Amino acid sequence: MSKVAVGVAGTGMAVAVATIAIGPRVSDWYDGRHQEQASYAKGSDAKADRRSMPSWLPDNATSVHYLMSTTGDDRLLSATLPDGRLPAGCTVGTPARSVHPMPASLRAGWFPEGVAARTTGSCGHYSVTLTGSQLYAWQDGAAVQAALRTGHQAKH
């Protein structure tokens, strides 16, 4: 009977150690497999490659970086705008509706922390920050779905 107890205890300890050692990697893998990331030289290249790219992104934008959730509408986007102005159709200033929160599930080295605190406008369902000629834009999937349910549809 004691050999069985020792075997069960040993197996339990092995499972616990494996869970502690491997668990975080499995979580990172699971989260990361529901995301797609891409970079493009120009806005026109990005829009030609991805239907999910917002139509308001100027064709002449450069250094475009994009991260999207494949299980929802969460998006991060950065681009350099040659004229340093928000694209046509975008609104300057804090939108009348609340600023969309940053998607908690998305993180990218090219997208700075805390950028949501410096929101300068909105483009479609995206909240945006323009610093010089650098545009940072994010879309929170839950906010998009809520807006669509209430009938406030806007282009990506």
For residue 99, the model assigns a pLDDT of 60
Distance CA 39, CA 75 (A): 14
DSSP state of 71: T
Quote the tokens at residue 4.
């069985």
pTM, two decimals, is 0.73
Distance CA 37, CA 119 (A): 23
Q: If you search the block for the tokens 């949501």, which residue do you land on? A: 116
Biggest alpha carbon–alpha carbon distance for the chain: 79
The torsion angles phi and psi of 5, rounded to 5 degrees, stand at -65, -40
How confident is the prediction along the chain (156 residues), in pLDDT tens digits per residue?
566 555 555 565 655 555 565 555 544 444 456 899 999 999 999 999 999 999 999 999 999 999 999 998 899 999 999 999 999 989 998 655 556 677 888 999 999 998 988 899 999 989 999 999 999 999 988 888 887 788 755 545
For residue 20, the model assigns a pLDDT of 67
